[in-house]
Structure 1
Amino acid sequence: MKEVPASGAFRQLEPGPIVLVTTSYRGKPNIMTMGFHMMIQHAPPLIGCVIGPWDHSYSALRATGECVIAIPTIDLAETVVDIGNCSGDTVDKFERFGLTQQPAGSVAAPLIKECLANIECRVVDVVEHHSLFILEAERLWIDNDHREWRTLHHRGDGVFAADGNVLDLCDRMVKWRHFPR
């Protein structure tokens, strides 16, 4: 083993796929790319995510208390990176990147049609000191006809990994059978 700087720990524990977060504030929808998020609990489903005042979406999320977490697949990899390289205060990202807004069921923020899944969320708590939003997932939309299912995982410095083969061990998860698949 070789010791490396602890600042790289996120590269080993990367919490999940890169996601797109949509908000809508004063009738203006926006999209941001986000990598720092984690599941906090199963029921109710709580998601933690870091969105700081340096992000244009921060103000919209603080004002409205709602968003959509959209899960893109690797066919959108370049678009996901490009969305993160510009700001919604000067760019209509839906228009620039050719993404399709779809109405959500219970929040004003739009779903993204081109994504594999969309999760409608409401803010239930904020840890200001860390810009950590605790979101409750209210509705989940999955495109079962989506051609691509592999998601994108950021490893740092613009390097990404894609999901590979799926290993199904659900028959061994006897303690957790009560959770829906």
Structure 2
Amino acid sequence: MSRQSLENSRGLRLLEPGPVVLVTSMYRSHPNVMTAAWVTPLGFDPAMISIAIHPGRLTHEFISKSETFGLSIPTLDLSKAIHHCGVASGNDVDKFEVAGLTPEDPEEIDAPKIQECIAHIECGVIQRVTAADHDLFIAQILNASADDDYFRDSWLAEQELPLVSHIAGNFYAGMTRGYGVTLDEDDDE
């Protein structure tokens, strides 16, 4: 096997594809949405996540001021909307309108859910940490909901899962099937 040396910043790409989420935020009755893939669970009790956002983004400003945000989980059929929300600026356009996304009332926060998405997580910021050129927002999950055609206690692996992952730039990957793995008793030794 031949291996190439990479610039350190390109080493981050080895961790992709990562799940794509649409991050919603609201400040002074102005909603915004942005695409992100740098999101990770942090713990179960309390249920916490983190998301990395560059300080130059409007979403960063809105989350910093409101201390809440939403995560909506899109599907492959929303690929163009996903990419549009990742490259357009909420300072210039209403990304909900130009991406054809429908804001939906949230349960616990001001930032809207996205009607076309199959799952939603509403978050309250606990801490913000500056890490390199991004800030990491550490947040507690305040409310979560999902389409029961795709999720019960976890994603339903036995059927098609039209989830989206980001590879790099304008390249995305689709997770279209899950697989279960079982070990034989001898495998545990």
> What range is the shorter-chain TM-score in?
0.7 to 0.9
1:120 Cα offset (Å): 0.3
Larger-gyration structure (1/2): 2
1:136 to 133, 140, 144: 140
Q: Which amino acid aligns with 2:4?
A: E
TM norm structure 2: 0.82
**Structure 1 consecutive aligned stretches of length 4 or more whose deviation exceeds 4 Å:** none
1:15, distance to aligned residue in structure 2 (A): 6.8
Corresponding residue of 1:177: none
Higher alpha-carbon deviation: 134-143 or 11-20: 11-20
Partner of 1:162: 174
Residue of structure 1 in register with 2:98 after alignment: 96
Question: Taking every aligned residue pair, what percent have the same amino acid on both sides?
Answer: 33
Name the structure 1 match of 2:186.
none
Contact 1:16 1:38 in 2 (8 A): no
How much has 1:74 moved relative to structure 2? 0.7
In 2, Cα distance between the equivalents of 1:45 and 1:16?
20
Q: Residues 155, 129 of structure 1: CA spacing in aligned structure 2 closer, same or farther, 3 A cutoff?
A: closer
Task: State how far apart, in whole Å, the 2-side matches of 1:32 and 1:39 are.
Answer: 19
Partner in structure 1 of residue 53 of structure 2:
51
Give the TM-score normalised by structure 1: 0.86
Per the alignment, residue 75 of structure 1 pairs with: 77
- The equivalent of 1:84 in structure 2 is 86
Following the alignment from structure 1 to structure 2, what is the Cα–Cα distance between the partners of residues 101 and 57?
16
Counterpart amino acid of residue 124 in structure 1: I
RMSD: 2.0
Name the one with the larger strand percent.
Answer: 2
Distance 1:44 1:26 in 2: 29
